[in-house]
Amino acid sequence: MLAEVIFSLFITILVLSILQNLLLSIKRANMHENQHVNDIAYAYVQLNNFMHTEDTKTVYPIVKDSKSNRIVFMRVNKNDEKEQYAIEYYLKNHVLKVSKAGAGRGGYMPLIFNIKSAQFVTKKDQIIIHVVEENKGKSDLVFKLDEEPKPEREKKIVKNKRKRIA
């Protein structure tokens, strides 16, 4: 009788131990699965905050300089100082990055690591980044921006045309 009680306690402890390890494994797998979403969301927030700092007056894409493998945008601060940046996919390191465009570029800010491929779409007031991650799936990062301001000369031509019509 005593042997049966000890044996049943041993079996109960063994089953509880197996259940605990199983629950921990499920929790770890679930956290790892959600890591993909967190990386994409973090990259979106990081880039959006970079574009729209407190000092930023306007941000607009430069459509003529953007391609399917790169997006160029201009950030204008409240003092009307312009800074041009590029978002690119760096194949060698499999990273999506933001860097200063033009001469004397310097370093870059990594957004997302372990990228298999990235394609870019630039519209007059929008940037879309299609990202394919290694072993994780596909995501789209969409940023609503301002339209590129028209040069003063074009504004005057439009005003003159309106006067002629009226």
What mean pLDDT value characterizes the chain? Answer: 83
Statement: residue 37 has pLDDT above 70: no
Domain range holding 86? Answer: 28-150
- Indicate whether 129 belongs to any domain: yes
> What is the model's pLDDT at position 166?
46
Residue 113 lies in a domain: yes
In a domain, residue 157? The reply is: no
Q: Distance between CA atoms of 162 and 154, rounded to whole angstroms? A: 13
What is the number of domains present in the chain? Answer: 1
pTM of the model: 0.66
Q: Are 62 and 148 in contact (CB under 8 A)?
A: yes
In a domain, 112, yes or no: yes
- Read off the pLDDT band of 41 (50, 70, 90): confident
Minimum mean pLDDT range among 27-31, 32-36, 41-45: 32-36
Q: Tens of pLDDT along 120-151? A: 999 989 999 999 888 768 889 999 999 988 87
- 4 lies in a domain? no
56-103 tens-digit pLDDT: 999 999 988 888 888 999 999 999 999 999 999 888 788 889 988 765
User: Does 163 reside within a domain?
Assistant: no
- pLDDT at position 26 is 80
Within a domain: 49: yes
Residue 10 counted as domain residue: no
The residue type found at 30 is N
8 Å CB contact between 104 and 92: no
Per-residue pLDDT band at 156 (split at 50, 70, 90): low
**Residues 59, 52: contact at Cβ < 8 Å?**
yes
139 forms beta bridges with 131
